[in-house]
Amino acid sequence: MSKNTHATKVRLLGAQPSEAYPSGVHTTEVHSLEAHSEELRAAKFHPKTVHSVEDYDFSDGQHFFFDTNIWLYIYGPISFPDWRSDVYSRALKEIRDSEGSIYINCMIISEFINAFARIEFKQQSEFGKYKEFRNSPDFRHIAEDISHNLKKILKSTLTCDPDLVGIKLPEIMDTFEEGRYDFNDLVFAEICRAKDLIFVTHDRDFRDLGIEILTANERMLR
C-alpha cells in the first residue's frame, strides 16, 4: 500500500511477530471460564502485586494479557514520539524472547479497531462527524492500516474469548453497579484471574481489581 495516500505513519516496533509465532500456528483456544464471583467481590480488598515493566524479570513461559492501550502504544497510529511506545515494545520483545504467551480476545480487538479509527478521525479536519469520516473513501486507507497492524498482533497472540455461560454476569453487574468500573475492564480482570494471566496495562482503573499487573505507569507503582 502506498503511504502517499495517507499521511499517518504506522508504528511497527519490536521483533517481527513471526519470530515467536510463525505464520500458520496462530490457533484459536476457546476456554470456558469458571465462575469467580467470590474473588470478584473480594478483589477490591486484596490487591495483587503491581510490577514495573522496566524492571521486570521475564521468566520463561509466563502468560500475559495486554490491555487495549498497550496494543495502541505499540501498533496504533502515531503523530509524535511517545516514550510508552518504546517501553511496551521492549516488553513485547522480551516476552517473545522468553517464549511467553500473550492472550487476546474479541473485546480487545474491537476496542483496538474502534480506538485506532477514532484517533485518526481526531487528526482529520474536513469531517465534522465520525460517521461521515467512517463512510468516506478516505477511510479505506485507515482500514488498511488497522488491518495490517491487527494481523501482526494476531500472529503474536493466542485467543481466549470467554464463554459467557462460564461467567456469572449478575456478579459482574453487581460490581458494575458501583459506577466505578467499565464493563469490559471487569471482564478482562475476570479472564486474568481465571487463566492466571499477568495483565499488562497503563490504566490505573485496574489497580484494585485483584489481578497481577505489569505497567510503566508510575502512579500505579507508588
Would you state the cell numbers that stand for residue 100, as one nine-digit string?
A: 511467553
Q: Give the residue-averaged pLDDT of 40-56.
A: 70
Q: Domain total for the chain?
A: 1
Q: Please tell me which residue, 79 or 69, carries the higher pLDDT value.
A: 69
Inform me whether the pLDDT recorded for 30 exceeds 80. Answer: no
- φ, ψ dihedrals at 215, nearest 5°: -155, 160
Residue 1 lies in a domain: no
Residue 85 lies in a domain: yes
Residue 118 lies in a domain: yes
DSSP 38-75: HHHHHGGGS---EEETTT----TT-EEEE-HHHHHHHH
Q: Residue 217 maps to which CATH number?
A: 3.40.50.1010
**How confident is the model at residue 47, as a pLDDT?**
54
Residue 8 lies in a domain: no
**How confident is the model at residue 8, as a pLDDT?**
38
Residue 27 lies in a domain: no
Q: Please tell me which residue, 106 or 2, carries the higher pLDDT value.
A: 106
Q: Please tell me which residue, 20 or 118, carries the higher pLDDT value.
A: 118
**How confident is the model at residue 124, as a pLDDT?**
80
**How confident is the model at residue 89, as a pLDDT?**
95
**Of 12-21, 107-116, 138-147, which range is least confident?**
12-21
- Note the pTM of the prediction, 2 decimals: 0.76
**How confident is the model at residue 218, as a pLDDT?**
92
Provide the residue range defining the domain that includes 122: 34-221
Would you state the cell numbers that stand for residue 95, as one nine-digit string?
A: 516476552
Percent of the chain with pLDDT over 70: 75
Percent of the chain with pLDDT over 90: 47
Residue 186 lies in a domain: yes
pLDDT band at 123 (very low <50, low <70, confident <90, very high): confident
**Alpha-helix runs per DSSP H in 123-200:** 130-134, 139-155, 169-176, 183-195
Inform me whether the pLDDT recorded for 44 exceeds 60. Answer: no
Residue 12 lies in a domain: no
**How confident is the model at residue 20, as a pLDDT?**
37
Q: Convert the pLDDT of each residue in 152-180 to its tens digit.
A: 999 999 998 876 656 667 788 888 888 88
**How confident is the model at residue 18, as a pLDDT?**
34
Q: How many CA atoms lie within 13 A of 46 on its CB side?
A: 8
Residue 177 lies in a domain: yes
